[in-house]
Structure 1
Amino acid sequence: MPDVAAARRLARRLRDGACAVAVARRWSARALKGAALLGVCCALCLGTGPLGVARAAGAAATAPVQAGRPVVPVPGGVPAPPRASPPGFDPAPAPPGTTASGPVRAQPARMPFYVATRGTTTIYVLGTLHVGDPVDYPAGQPFRAPILAALAASPTLALELSPDELLVSQDDVSKYGVCRRDCLPGLLPEPLWHKLAMRLRGNPAALDAIKKMRPWLASLVVETYDSLSAGLQTEYGTEAQLQNVYLKTRGKIVGLETLPQQMHAFTGLSLAQQREMLAQDLVQTAAQNVADVRALHRLWRVGDADAIAAWQAAKSENLARDKRVSDAIDNKIVYERNRRFVSRMLQIAAPNKPVFVAIGALHLGGPKGVLQLLRQRGFVVEAG
């Protein structure tokens, strides 16, 4: 909302007021080379809003706080952000080191994890968060024992986007999301542009950089900006941690969708839909968005996909400026991709050859989520 490092780095630069000239120079050199999405989050997919990018990266991560948005790597490198937490931020408590009986073992986050079976076919489904906190993945045991056992039993790990496509994906983001000139002010209604400019008024470098983005990419950058302000880190995104574990013993990692399919989730949006995306990101204050990021992180740690879906549904209802347009965005970025994910899972899975699937947590629960779609295909789905 997977490797959303480029998006996170850009947002860090925007937040920290780094030199806009350097960004523009880098963009003018790469503008037509292409770019990349992660499977967003956007969000914050958890995905969500990409650069969770995951209505979720995103991871989408995330991660972006909108549900299920792929997390899009955005052009431009950036320095590391300050580690200090913003005012009002309540970081996850560090696990206690010792008790009277000796050292205390840190416990990994529970995370939404499910086992879907149909006859001898098994699909393990893990809901990811594209950014995270070090306490989510203790060094000695980054995942719960059932998750580690499922990884060990699976010949294939399936992510939203394959690592190979992720490597070449950033150019497509530049190609389809970045303009050669300052295009964003002319693509937005004046009140919406004014609202965005006011949000970034303390950071002229960020404002100059975002002027060259199309509305869908500007939306994901705003979400990423808020996710970073919540103190979460890309290196502790679930996908990155999973690959650290999986590649030690295995190596087959595949994607559930192709890069063109994922890019089309954004490039296929109408201008009205792109404006709605950005408007939703600006309904609340930055501090309120940060609080939502933290709330999503806490729900993800508990590990109940349906509770996460219910939380996101209530949030979407509150943020929607035009419900009809908002529903169309959800269908394009979340529900169409859910159906694609499940179709691809069924292609990969085979009797007695389990597949381990890791996708943004906001794709899992609810009546149109991946778990319900698997049930409709005859699978019995149980919490892992």
Structure 2
Amino acid sequence: MKKIALLIGLLLALFSNAQTEKKSLLWKISGNGLTKESYLFGTIHIACDATLPKKVLIALDKTTQLCLELDMDDPNMQTEMMSKMMMKDGITIESLMSAEDFKIVDDFFKKESGLSLKMMNSIKPFALSAMLYPKMLDCPMQSFENELMKVAKEQKEETIGLESFSEQLAVFDAIPYQTQVDELIKSAKSDLVRDKKELKEMLELYKTEDIEAMLRYTGRSENTMTSEFKDELLNNRNKNWIDRISKIASAQPTFFGVGAAHLGGEDGVIKLLRKKGYKVEAVL
């Protein structure tokens, strides 16, 4: 009997692993009192080709609103962004760098954007890094979020957000400014070679729809912000989202689009939703 129980346990474990190892960026949410299904899609924020797969378009047809990480249609977003973009306590970029490094980064920004670092001395360093994203691609930048919003507008459906811009930017007060500056210096000194390599590899992984592999990749990134601050960037936000996703999906069938790295792992959105009682299935 013990041997049979052990074999059954092994079979269940194998089945469970097979369930979590399915490769998909699109997941169906049902059960736990939902009258209609909602969908969860893992995006990547910048890409060369953001064409939405057919299964995503079908899911968008089945839902009645779009929910992204942020409400990109919020008319107050720009004002909120400007008020939260500055570092706290009067800290400046220049105060966190040596004079030599400041000149290197300043020259780099002048070359890449035509802007002097002195004009952006109080801005959170991550925001300056984000300005460089288009330079990391060998193509015109596209966005899955923009494509999703286009479909929502065509369907005359509302776009909402899981978190406010203030909440998202607070993450970059939790990550030390010095860490952010150090990564900015590395990017400038390497002329984005490391950044381009990592983005290219992540885009290739994204095509495989392997969310667990994408999460593992972020954990071994050479970018300290990405590899060492997973709680701040991913896990804590995932936990904050679950009750919000539950409330939104209960009100009406919703298409949720969040960064693919938020989906996988024990603290990912998929497993957290399952722990709350929802059935979350890969759409293959």
Question: Smaller-chain TM-score range?
Answer: 0.7 to 0.9
State which of 208, 219, 230 in structure 1 corresponds to 2:126.
219
Contact kept in structure 1, 2:242 and 2:272, CA below 8 Å: yes
- Structure 1: how far apart are the matches of 2:147 and 2:113? 35
Q: Which residue of 2 aligns with 1:128?
A: 43
Instruction: Please state whether the residue corresponding to 1:247 is helix, strand or coil.
Output: helix
- Structure 2: how far apart are the matches of 1:376 and 1:288? 38
> How many equivalent residue pairs?
257
The residue identity in structure 2 corresponding to 1:188 is M
Q: Which residue of 2 aligns with 1:241?
A: 147
2:270 counterpart of 1:371: yes
Q: Which residue of 2 aligns with 1:251?
A: 157
State which of 248, 259, 269 in structure 2 corresponds to 1:360.
259
- Structure 1: how far apart are the matches of 2:149 and 2:201? 26
Q: Which residue of 1 aligns with 2:206?
A: 300
Instruction: Please state whether the residue corresponding to 1:356 is helix, strand or coil.
Output: strand
Please identify the structure whose Cα radius of gyration is greater: 2
Aligned ranges 1:99-248 → 2 under 5 Å? 112-119=25-32, 121=34, 122-134=37-49, 136-137=50-51, 143-165=52-74, 167-178=75-86, 183-188=92-97, 193=102, 196-197=105-106, 199-200=108-109, 202=111, 205-206=114-115, 208-209=116-117, 212-214=120-122, 216=124, 218-234=125-141, 236-248=142-154
Contact kept in structure 1, 2:29 and 2:38, CA below 8 Å: yes
The residue identity in structure 2 corresponding to 1:255 is G
Deviation at 1:255, TM superposition (A): 1.0
Q: Highest relative contact order (Cα 8 Å, sep 6+), 1 or 2?
A: 2
Contact kept in structure 2, 1:131 and 1:232, CA below 8 Å: no
State which of 323, 326, 344 in structure 1 corresponds to 2:244.
344
Deviation at 1:347, TM superposition (A): 0.9
- Structure 2: how far apart are the matches of 1:277 and 1:288? 11
TM-score with structure 1 setting the length: 0.57
Contact kept in structure 1, 2:96 and 2:178, CA below 8 Å: no
Contact kept in structure 2, 1:116 and 1:379, CA below 8 Å: yes
Q: Would you tell me which structure has more helix in proportion to its own residues?
A: 2
Instruction: Please state whether the residue corresponding to 1:163 is helix, strand or coil.
Output: coil
State which of 315, 320, 331 in structure 1 corresponds to 2:224.
320
- Structure 1: how far apart are the matches of 2:102 and 2:44? 30
Instruction: Please state whether the residue corresponding to 2:120 is helix, strand or coil.
Output: coil
Structure 1: tracts of 5 or more residues without a match = 1-109, 138-142
Deviation at 1:198, TM superposition (A): 6.5
TM-score with structure 2 setting the length: 0.75
Distance change >3 Å, CA 221–CA 375, structure 1 → 2 = same
Distance change >3 Å, CA 198–CA 250, structure 1 → 2 = closer
Deviation at 1:277, TM superposition (A): 5.3
Q: Which residue of 1 aligns with 2:231?
A: 331
Distance change >3 Å, CA 204–CA 308, structure 1 → 2 = closer
Distance change >3 Å, CA 295–CA 209, structure 1 → 2 = same
- Structure 2: how far apart are the matches of 1:369 and 1:302? 18
**Quick one: percent identity of the two aligned structures?**
19
Instruction: Please state whether the residue corresponding to 1:368 is helix, strand or coil.
Output: coil
Distance change >3 Å, CA 150–CA 120, structure 1 → 2 = farther
- Structure 2: how far apart are the matches of 1:175 and 1:355? 30
Q: Which residue of 2 aligns with 1:25?
A: none
